[in-house]
């Protein structure tokens, strides 16, 4: 009788311990997390939607002229030029804005890779430019510090 009871307790403790380890291991693994944790930022989602699964390579052949600090985020002038060949499109994104994509221009071969416009910046953010050429996608970024946001203006 006592032996029986002891054996039962031993077994149940061992089993309980085992299940504890098993669940711990499951929760710790990244596979379980990926299902419910949003692992990609809005910028990443936008990039995925715009350029599918294409590789985007950082390039120094894209020049962004933008003020380092902007007093007013409602109108920040930006000029993008590039020395890349066969430019097909130029996209401008503001990383911290609720909807990052500002504009995407498809340029014909008759045009120089040159775009100038004015952007709204909600807060200090990286302004990203993605240039699509016949060979692939290239990106460049520039940080802008905004003292007054552009969203409420």
List of residues contacting another protein (CB under 8 A): 74-76, 79, 94, 97-108, 110-112, 114-120, 150-152
Torsion angle, alpha carbons of 22, 24, 26, 31, to 10: -160
Q: What CA–CA distance (Å, rounded) separates 49 from 86?
A: 23
CB of 111 to another protein, least distance (A): 6
CB of 104 to another protein, least distance (A): 5
Under a CB-based contact definition with an 8 Å cutoff, are residues 134 and 86 in contact?
yes
CB of 17 to another protein, least distance (A): 53
Nearer to another protein, 26 or 148 (CB): 148
Torsion angle, alpha carbons of 112, 113, 118, 124, to 10: -160
Nearer to another protein, 16 or 67 (CB): 67
């Amino acid at each position: 009788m006592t032996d029986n009871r002891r054996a039962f307790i031993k077994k149940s403790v061992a089993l309980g311990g085992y299940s504890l380890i098993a669940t711990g291991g499951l929760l710790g693994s990244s596979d379980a997390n990926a299902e419910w944790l949003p692992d990609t930022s809005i910028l990443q989602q936008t990039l995925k939607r715009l350029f599918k699964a294409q590789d985007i390579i950082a390039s120094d052949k894209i020049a962004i002229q933008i003020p380092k600090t902007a007093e007013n985020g409602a109108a920040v002038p930006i000029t993008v030029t590039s020395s890349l060949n066969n430019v097909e499109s130029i996209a401008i994104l503001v990383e911290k804005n609720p909807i990052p994509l500002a504009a995407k221009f498809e340029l014909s071969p008759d045009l120089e890779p040159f775009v100038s416009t004015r952007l709204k910046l909600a807060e200090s953010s990286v302004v990203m430019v993605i240039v699509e050429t016949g060979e692939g996608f290239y990106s460049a970024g520039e940080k802008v510090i905004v003292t007054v946001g552009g969203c409420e203006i």
